[in-house]
């Protein structure tokens, strides 16, 4: 019966709260922390609330003394359009927990972590790979994620193409189809179907930690003329919603240690901004 009750509350709240963050309804005294999230994208978020962004969202809702509400949408083209910028103001959310700094569909807070694309390969079987210029990359199968839209390969894949490495690159899509779509690329490494995968750090760290076979993760260093492979990650709010941005930043400061702890629990490879190299798994 609980699930029926909560569906009912959601319907009510869609109509009884106006846009804006941590709103107080006219009729009720409930504050809401409204988060835009992907329903099936571990380790970031899912509907079972198992992702690290779910945990961070819970922490923030608690800090604000607000109830947590999600607007779910797949994180691909149309994500912001259909969540934060939904036509019906009542159907909108106000915060995206993790977006790269410079993502201009939203206004970003100051970053709260930095991660990088990493090489993932079998420890002890594949000799260490530390650079895109390693000649082994011309010989072994390389798994990469396909991010969907045209011309949007992960940056290391662009740089592989520039180096003429194309034919031995194997794409893995990120659809809802498998149980853990983003994790299949790491399964392929463990199973020896690809010799190495190049994966965004949080995805690699989480799924590598769930393999029986020991896997090595090494940050992909970006050469002088290469695109960046490491990114500062922040929270995103609606452009112009500076008040909310500032409130979030206060909590980011206050809860810095706890946030780092959550990230480490999920195996997110964190990168030191100054050095640009992985400092922890």
Partner 1 sequence: MKVSALLVTATLMLPVFMTACTNAEAPRTAADPAAPTDKEWSMPNKNYASTRYSTLNTINTDNVKTLKVAWTFSTGVLRGHEGGPLVVGETMYVHTPFPDIVYALDLAKEGAPIKWKYVPKQDPKVIPIACCDTVNRGLAYADGSIFLNQLDATTVALDAATGKELWKIKQGDYKNGQTITSAPMVVKDKVISGISGGEFGVRGFVTANDVKTGKQVWRMYSTGPEAEVGFTGTDNEKSWKGDEWKRGGGTTWGWYSYDPELNLFYYGTGNPGSWNPDQRPGDNKWSMTIFARDPDTGLAKWAYQKTPHDAWDYDGINENVLIDLTLNGQMRKVLVNFDRNGFSYTLDRATGELLMAEPFVNVNWAKGIDLKTGLPIENPEKRTSSAMNTKDICPSAMGGKNQQPVAYSPRTNLFYVPANNLCMDYEGVKIAYQAGQPYVGAIVLSRPGPGGNRGEFIAWDPTTGKKAWSIPEGLAAWGGALATGGDVVFYGTMEGWLKAVHAKTGEVLWKFKTPSGIIGNPMTYTGPDGKQYVAVLSGVGGWSGIAVAGDLGAEALPTDALGAVGAFGDVGSFSTQGGVLTVFALP
Question: How far apart are CB 274 and partner 1 at their closest, in Å?
Answer: 20
Give the total residue count for the chain.
281
Q: Which stretch binds partner 1 (CB under 8 A): 55-63, 100-108, 184-192, 265-273?
A: 100-108
Q: Which of 21, 137, 155, 235 binds partner 1 (CB under 8 A)?
A: 155
- The partner residues of 218 in beta bridges, in order of sequence, read 119
> Which of 230, 209, 232, 205 lies closest to 220, judged by CA?
230
Q: What angle do CA 95, 100, 104 make, to 5 degrees?
A: 75
Residue closer to partner 1 (CB basis): 124 or 240: 240
Residue 200: which residues within 8 A CB-CB, separation 6 or more?
115, 117, 118, 145, 154
DSSP 177: S
Residue closer to partner 1 (CB basis): 20 or 213: 20
- Identify the sign of the CA torsion 112, 247, 61, 90: negative
Q: Return the residues of window 27-86 that contact partner 1 according to CB under 8 A.
A: 38-39, 41, 44, 47-49, 70-83, 85-86
Q: Return the residues of window 172-201 that contact partner 1 according to CB under 8 A.
A: 173-177, 182, 200
Collapsed DSSP state (helix, strand, coil) of residue 183: helix
User: Per CB under 8 A, does 245 bind partner 1?
Assistant: no
Question: How far apart are CB 254 and partner 1 at their closest, in Å?
Answer: 25
Residue closer to partner 1 (CB basis): 143 or 155: 155
Question: How far apart are CB 170 and partner 1 at their closest, in Å?
Answer: 9
């Amino acid at each position: 019966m609980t699930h029926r009750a909560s569906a009912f509350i959601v319907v009510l709240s869609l109509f009884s709260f106006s846009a804006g963050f941590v709103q107080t309804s006219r009729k009720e005294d409930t504050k809401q922390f409204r988060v835009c999230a992907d329903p099936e994208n571990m380790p970031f978020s899912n509907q079972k609330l198992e992702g690290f962004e779910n945990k961070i969202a819970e922490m923030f809702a608690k800090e604000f003394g607000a109830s947590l509400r999600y607007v779910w949408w797949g994180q691909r083209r149309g994500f912001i359009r259909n969540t934060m910028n939904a036509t019906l103001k009542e159907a909108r959310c106000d915060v995206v927990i993790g977006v790269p700094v410079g993502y201009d569909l939203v206004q970003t807070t100051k970053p709260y972590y930095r991660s990088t694309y990493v090489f993932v390969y079998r420890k002890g079987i594949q000799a260490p790979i530390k650079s895109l210029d390693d000649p082994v990359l011309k010989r072994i199968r390389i798994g990469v994620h396909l991010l969907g839209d045209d011309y949007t390969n992960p940056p290391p894949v662009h740089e592989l193409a520039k180096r003429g490495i194309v034919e031995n690159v194997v794409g893995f899509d990120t659809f809802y189809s498998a149980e853990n779509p983003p994790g299949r690329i790491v399964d392929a490494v463990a199973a020896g179907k690809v010799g190495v995968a190049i994966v965004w750090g949080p995805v690699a760290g989480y799924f590598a930690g769930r393999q029986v076979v020991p896997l090595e993760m090494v940050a992909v260093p970006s050469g002088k003329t290469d695109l960046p492979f490491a990114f500062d990650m922040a929270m995103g709010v609606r452009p112009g919603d500076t008040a909310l941005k500032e409130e979030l930043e206060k909590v980011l400061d206050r809860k810095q240690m706890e946030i780092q702890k959550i990230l480490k629990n999920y195996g997110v490879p964190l990168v030191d901004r100054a050095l640009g190299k992985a400092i922890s798994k």
